[in-house]
Structures are given as structure tokens and as C-alpha cells.
Amino acid sequence: MFTDILFYSVFLGQIFLLSYHYPKKIFTKITYVLNTYPASKYPKLYRHSQYIDPENKLRKTARRYKYANSAIALLGLGILLAMAISGYAPHTIKENQHLLFVVFYFLLQSFPHLLVEVSTYSWYKCMRYAAKTSTRTADLRPRRLFDFISPVYVLFAVLAYIGWVSFYLYNKGFSAAWDSQTYMTMFGMAAMNLVFFSLGYKSFLGKKMDPHQADEDQHKQITTTIRVSVFASILMSLQLITFNAINKFGWDIFEPVAISLYCQLIIVFGIGEMLRRLKIEDVDFSVYKDETVAPV
Amino acid sequence: MRIMVDIDDPVPLFTQLITQIKKAVETNMISAGDPLPSIRQLANDLDVNNKTVAKAYRLLERDGILQSKGYRGTFVHPDAKANTNTDLNAWVLEELGSTIDIFKNSGATDSEIRIAFASVMNRQKQKGA
């Protein structure tokens, strides 16, 4: 019974966080920008090579994002309600079918966020294209990794990774550990960490996404991206350690709860971290004003 | 300290970079021992080729404005400020000009000087190889 209540509560939390709380914050953020910094006063923010009326396009996209999340939230609540009405008790189901609910529902919940990320990337790309000027500036101060993140977090990420490798091999038995599954797992984990490293590295030393962005805002963005990448690596290692422990000790009943909690933590330390650190009120929007237009 | 390059300027980008970094040293915006951004960082920030920044750094290192400390990065040379006054390019032009004047006064023709210059440069290159 306890595990059933736990599962329903955690799944409800997943619906609330991923399809209501954070989407609402993101939608408010977009609306705030559109209302406070309109294209008439901040043309560089909307100067876009692809659309005739980019401001309107952005409003439509934001509305679609809101509706998509609302529909997904309703679907989630519908699933929960159907489970409750039909008397679905997760602790009595051996095959952990509800595990699939959690995973697939998380993938569905991630879809609008993924679309927003892709749109943002494409938006910046067009912005860079439209903002081609002959003069370019750069800071003569070097950027160093530990100016953006505490070494403690990086060390913790390395230790978590070593911890997972050790625990995984210990569970498999060190002497007979090296089969194809072990290689695949090790390779997968290394590849994921490489992705996180590339994300951090690209933001740290790569080209500026937003060509007009103020230095201070760029610093904040790099800090956030690096922190999110390191947190994601730590979470991934801890999650795998948790699942190895669940399998080893036969706590399969808690697996869906653990997966749902992991999904929520990814969002809290991913989107949540970005929303906490990159406060829209602190962003310098004066860089998007058109200096060629004389003030009236 | 910010530097700026103009890609439409007829002055080559690496020369613009050299001038700006020298100016930064002269005006004490950066001083001896200060670290400089990596080639990749500066190239990406300015949206120029890595080789352009690498060439500027190499020439500044040759002129004693910068010094490379391997994996630790590139730093402003301890004698950078004094060395900014030394313009190696201007010195080469001046020395070559006066040498050519000597040849011309001795009766050597332009084509003889050109052929001799090319021949000496080729010999130096072969020696180097």
C-alpha cells in the first residue's frame, strides 16, 4: 500500500513539475520579454532572416508550447485517474508495467522542452546570420573552467563516475565482468559523459550563441551551461548506482519511483537551474536596441 | 580589456590583432605576466580562423611581446612594454632599403638585385631545410 501511495505521489509530482510548474515559468518568461521588449524598441532581438513577423511567430510558438504542456498534463492526470479508478496497485504488478508509463510519459513531457531548445538554437543561428557586421570584439582575459564552477562539483562528478564503475564491476564480479554487456554499458556511460563535456566545452570556448549578448550575461550563461552539464553527469552516475543497488537488493518495486524521481531531478537541475540563474530581470536588453535609430 | 577587429578593413586581421595587443601593453591595459586567452577562445570570440590568431601570437612572441608557456598558456612577456617600441617589420624595411641603395649606387640593375635577392632567399631556405 505504501509503495502504491508513493508511486502515485511521485508520478503526480512528475506531472506537476514537468508539465505545469516549469512550463508556466518559461511561458511567463517569454511573455514578459515580448511585452517588455517589443520589436519596435528592441529590433535586434527579433531581427530574423526567416520570418516576416518574428515577434508574432514567437507569440504563436509560446502559445503552442503552453497548450502542448497543458494537454500532456491532462493526459498524465487522466492516466493517474484511470489507474486509481481501475484499482491499479503497482505493488501487485510483477512486470513493472508502470515503469513504462513513467518512462514514456517523461519522454512525452520532454518533447515540448526539446522543441523549445531546438527553436532557440535555430533562433540564435538566424540572429547571428542577420547580425553580420564587419567589426568584432573580444575580451583579452582568458576564460578558465574554475571561474565558472567550483572544483568541488567537478571532483564530485569524477568521483561519482568512478563510484559507479566500481559498484557496477563489483556487482558483476570483477573477474568475470568483461562481457559484451559490460563493454556496451561502459561505452554508453562514457559517451554520455562526453556529450556533457562537449556541451560545457562548446559553451566555454565555442562561438557566442547570441551575437549581441552582453559580457556579463554571457558569463552567466556559460556558468549555467557548465553547471548543468556537471550536475547531469553526477545525476547520471548516481542514478545508475541507485538502479544497480535496486537490482542487487531486489527492490524492484521502487524502480518506477526511482525513475520518476530521477526524471524530476534532471529537470530541477537542468531547466530549474537555468531559470534560477538566468533571471530575465537581470538580463541586459539594451544590447538589442537599434543604435542607428535616433531616439524620438 | 576588449579588442576589436574589422574584417572589411584592408589591413590583414593578424596585423590588426598585433596592433591592438601592442596598444593594450603600451597603455597598461595588460601588463607583464598577465595571461592571454587561448588561440581557440580568441578566434571563436572574434569569429575568425584559429590560424589568424595563431599567426598574430607567433609574431608577437617573436617580437618579445608575448611568451608561450606550453600547456599553461600564453602570457605577456616581462619586457613586453620595452619591446613594443621595436618594430621588426619597419627595421627590416629600413635595413633592406639602405642595402638596396648601396647596390644601386654600385651600378647593379633592379633585375640583378631581384634575382640576387631571390637566389639568397632560396639558398637560406635550402640551408634551413
* Residue A95 in this model has a pLDDT that exceeds 70: no
Higher pLDDT, A39 or A19: A19
- Which grid coordinates belong to A127? 540572429
d(CA A29, nearest CA chain B) in Å: 28
In this model, does residue A2 exceed pLDDT 80?
A: no
B64 found inside a domain? yes
Residues B76 and B93 in one domain: no
The alpha-carbon gap from B26 to the nearest alpha carbon of chain A, in Å, equals 14
Size of interface A-B (CB pairs under 8 A): 61
Counting Cα atoms < 13 Å in the Cβ hemisphere of B107 gives 0
Q: Which residues of B touch A136 (CB under 8 A)?
A: 4-7, 45-48
Q: Which of A127, A140, A216 to mutate to test the interface with B (most CBs of B within 10 A)?
A: A140
Alpha helices in chain A (DSSP H): 2-16, 22-36, 43-46, 54-85, 97-130, 145-148, 151-172, 180-205, 215-249, 255-267, 273-277
- The pLDDT-based confidence of A279 (bands split at 50, 70, 90) is confident
Distances (CA, A) of A102 to A80, A262, B11, B23, B24: 11, 11, 61, 60, 58
Structural domain count of chain B:
2
Greater model confidence, A168 or A96:
A168
> Which range marks the domain in which residue B123 is found?
88-127
The per-residue pLDDT of chain B, averaged, comes to: 91
Q: What is the pTM of this model?
A: 0.79
B25: in domain: yes
Same-domain check for residues B70 and B33 = yes
Q: What average pLDDT does range A199-222 have in this prediction?
A: 86
Q: Is A86 on the interface with B (CB under 8 A)?
A: no
Q: Tell whether the model's pLDDT for residue A296 goes beyond 60.
A: no
- Percent of the residues in chain B that have a pLDDT greater than 70, as a whole number: 99
- Please tell me the predicted confidence (pLDDT) of residue B35: 94
Interface test with B, best of A132, A136, A219 (most B CBs within 10 A): A136
C-alpha to C-alpha distances, B106 to B18, B102, B111, B113, B119, nearest whole angstrom: 38, 6, 14, 11, 19
For residue B6, CA distances in Å to A104, A144, B47, B60 come to 51, 27, 11, 20
In terms of domains, do B17 and B76 share one? yes
Does B33 touch chain A if contact means CB atoms closer than 8 Å? no
Same domain flag for B69 and B55: yes
| CATH number (domain holding residue B67) | 1.10.10.10
Mean pLDDT, residues A250-278: 86
For residues B24 and B60, state if they share a domain: yes
Interface touch A139/B7, C-beta < 8 Å: no
- The three cell numbers of residue B22 are 601592442
Mean pLDDT of B59-64: 92
Same domain, B62 and B95: no
How would residue B88 be classed by pLDDT, with cut points 50, 70 and 90? Answer: confident
Residues B71 and B35 in one domain: yes
Asked if B35's CB is within 8 angstroms of A139's CB, the reply is no
User: Looking at the complex, does the CB of residue B38 fall below 8 Å from at least one CB of chain A?
Assistant: yes
Is A143's Cβ below 8 Å from some Cβ in B?
yes
B121 with B64, same domain: the answer is no
* In chain A, domain spans: 2-131+143-288
Name the band, by pLDDT with cuts 50, 70 and 90, for residue A128.
Answer: confident
Q: Tell me, rounded to whole angstroms, the distance of Cα A120 from its chain centroid.
A: 13
User: What's the pLDDT at A93?
Assistant: 64
Q: Does B70 touch chain A (CB under 8 A)?
A: no
Span A71-89, average pLDDT? 88
B112-127 tens-digit pLDDT: 999 999 999 999 888 8
User: Contact B5/A135, CB-based, under 8 Å?
Assistant: yes
Q: Is residue B2 part of a domain?
A: no
Does residue B22 sit within a domain?
yes
State mean pLDDT over A84-88: 82
Residue A90: which of A73, A102, A78, A74 has the closest Cα? A102
Cβ separation B44–A207 shorter than 8 A? yes
**Per-residue pLDDT reduced to its tens digit, B68-83:** 998 889 999 999 888 8
B36 touches chain A (CB under 8 A): yes
* Res A295 pLDDT > 50: no
Q: What is the mean pLDDT of residues A166-177?
A: 79
Q: Which of chain B's residues have a Cβ under 8 Å away from the Cβ of A207? A: 44-45, 47
Contacts of A219 (CB under 8 A, 6+ apart): A148
At residue A229, the pLDDT reads: 93
Q: Which residue has the higher pLDDT, A259 or B119?
A: B119
CB < 8 Å to A142, chain B: 35-38, 41, 73
Domain co-membership, B25 together with B41 = yes
Q: Would B41 be classed as within a structural domain?
A: yes
Mean pLDDT in residue range A91-106: 73
Mean pLDDT score of chain A, rounded to an integer? 85
Q: How far apart are CA A268 and CA A45, in angstroms?
A: 28
Burial tier of A15 (Cβ tally within 10 Å: 0-12, 13-18, 19+): buried
Within-domain flag for B6: no
Question: How big is chain B by its Cα radius of gyration, in Å?
Answer: 18
Do B92 and B70 lie in one domain? The reply is: no
Q: How far is B22 from chain A (nearest CA, A)?
A: 12
When pLDDT is averaged across residues A18-25 and rounded to a whole number, the result is 93
pLDDT at A103 over 80: yes
Mean per-residue pLDDT, A190-198: 91
Restricting to A residues 205-244, those with a Cβ less than 8 Å away from any Cβ of B are 205-208
Residue B30 shares a structural domain with residue B50: yes
The mean pLDDT value for B5-24 works out to: 92
For the segment A210-239, the average pLDDT, to the nearest whole number, is: 90
Comparing A133 with B60, the larger pLDDT belongs to B60
Residues B26 and B65 in one domain: yes
DSSP code for B68: E
pLDDT bin (cut points 50, 70, 90) of residue A202 is confident
pLDDT of residue A94: 62
Q: Is the CB of A142 inside 8 Å of chain B's CB atoms?
A: yes
- For B37, which residue in chain A has the nearest alpha carbon? A142
Q: Are B36 and A206 an interchain contact pair (Cβ–Cβ within 8 Å)?
A: no
